Amino acid sequence: MAQKPSIPKGTRDFSAQEVNKRHYIINTIKNQFTKFGFQPIETPSFENYDTLMGKYGEEGDRLIFKILNSGDFLKKVNPNDIKSENTLAITPKIAEKALRYDLTVPFARYVVQHQNELDFPFKRYQIQPVWRADRPQKGRFREFFQCDADVVGSQSLWQEVEFVQLYDAVFTQLKLEGVQIKINNRKILSGFAEIIGQSDKLIDFTVALDKLDKIGEEAVIEEMKAKGITAQAIDTIQPIFNLKGDFSEQIASLRGILAASKSGLEGLQELEFIQQAIEAMPLKTARLTLDVTLARGLNYYTGAIFEIAAPPQVKMGSIGGGGRYDDLTGIFGLKNMSGVGISFGLDRIYLVLEELKLFPKTADAQTQVIFINFGHQEALYAMQAIRLLRDKGVAAELYPDEAKMKKQMNYANKRAIPFVVLAGSKEMQKEQFTLKNMMTGEQNDVNLQELKKMLQA
């Protein structure tokens, strides 16, 4: 019996229109990555089990897709583990490969493995799919693309400056105005925890603080108290809930608050460097804002933290993010490699551009003209013209069958092909073509030269 076709949950088929629009975004990002000096690398879709496991926390380990060994996959398993159905012990024996969970760990592995071929600082970009066995839900997929740019091997803050410019350049080119580039620094968050004398509570503190936007000051304070942060400590830090003024003014306020924290002041100095550079080289359409509640990726970021918010008229989570991590490659044995990188959220950017109708018409590159098929001699006449049109860069087709005229015109219509050429024996005798504009209905009798000219435009 024939199978009813379907795809695994959390995965997607992309139609031509969707692929074209996705590539429009990807090509824009690539174009800017290249102008900023990033070079593409690609890594395999699956890595050794050990390369990925233990890098994303317990939750992450569970969400990694493992690939079943080929052949007699049970042969390496301890019979007792089979008997007791000990899946945790069995998994690494029967699945020695796993699908990429993100692009950062494979990148770290790549840098260490190829360190002798690379020139540092090494600037790379990578645009490839990743896979996560997450519960699928609206906007969350089991296969999705990540678009990352990272630099390793330099601690220079000019890189943070460049990433701010890079975000601005990409969103400007996409005509997505009003994007907010939020920046924070891990050292400032550490400073806060220091100041309140509860450095051991850094994670609890920042996790609560991160929710300020969503749940408000009171609820954040409640949560902090619940986590054992004293009322006195919260009082000390209270001013950060209501920082006023522009970037520089907020820095000034924070300098007071963090006066006693060496780490905090260092974080402020870094932010100031970035802010002043951007002031000297204003952004085109995006806005750089300080957000001390930003705690994204606290587990690995050690310096700057970035998060990109879509323009306020669109309801959407972050459409990008990144930061600096001081020890990217340590897990693979190469110490003291500072890295900094950013990521673009392709799926969400797609939704934003769709909602704001920002995809240009040309994003959906498609066939410009189709020739009606009136029979063998006419088809050959058409094909000769099509051949010359293609040489001139025009996407052109012949309807392959000598079907009823109405069927052929319907096909052109449904596919939204803008021009149709009708060339029957009458036109052939005069070496002409009837060109019909499907939008306006206008028809013109033209020769080959004119046809080329009209379609190339």
Q: Which stretch binds a second copy (CB under 8 A): 71-79, 212-220, 237-245, 319-327?
A: 71-79
Kindly identify the residues of this chain, within the stretch 83-142, that bind a second copy according to CB under 8 A. Answer: 85, 87, 90-91, 94-97, 99, 109-110, 112-114, 117, 119, 121, 123-124, 129, 131, 133
CB of 113 to a second copy, least distance (A): 4
Q: Which stretch binds a second copy (CB under 8 A): 180-188, 317-325, 330-338, 353-361?
A: 330-338
> Which residue number, 166 or 240, has a Cβ lying nearer to a second copy?
166
DSSP helix/strand/coil, 422: strand
How many CB atoms are located within 10 Å of the residue 205 CB? 26
**For 252-266, b where at least 16 C-beta lie within 10 A, e where not — what string?**
ebbeebbeebebbbb
> Which residue number, 117 or 218, has a Cβ lying nearer to a second copy?
117
The answer to whether 193 touches 185, Cβ cutoff 8 Å, is no
Q: Are strands 287-290 and 180-185 parallel, antiparallel or unpaired?
A: parallel
47: which strand partners? Answer: 98
> Which residue number, 387 or 426, has a Cβ lying nearer to a second copy?
387
Give the span between the Cα atoms of 227 and 52, in whole angstroms. 32
Query: Would you state the torsion angle of the CA atoms of residues 56, 57, 62, 67, taken in this order, to the nearest 10 degrees?
Result: 40
5 binding a second copy? (CB under 8 A): yes
> What DSSP element (H or E) covers 20?
helix 16-35
Answer for which of 57, 140, 158, 213 binds a second copy (CB under 8 A) is: 158
Q: Which two tokens stand for residue 238?
A: 């209270």
Kindly identify the residues of this chain, within the stretch 270-299, that bind a second copy according to CB under 8 A. Answer: 277, 280-281
36 binding a second copy? (CB under 8 A): yes
Q: Which stretch binds a second copy (CB under 8 A): 31-39, 264-272, 296-304, 315-323?
A: 31-39
Give the span between the Cα atoms of 69 and 180, in whole angstroms. 46
14 binding a second copy? (CB under 8 A): yes
Answer for which of 414, 429, 439, 442 binds a second copy (CB under 8 A) is: 414
Q: Which two tokens stand for residue 101?
A: 């969970």
Instruction: Give the count of residues interacting with a second copy (CB under 8 A).
Output: 106
Give Cα separations from 388 to 349, 383, 385, 392, 457 (angstroms).
Answer: 38, 9, 5, 7, 15
CB of 141 to a second copy, least distance (A): 9
Kindly identify the residues of this chain, within the stretch 51-70, that bind a second copy according to CB under 8 A. Answer: 51, 62-63, 65-68, 70
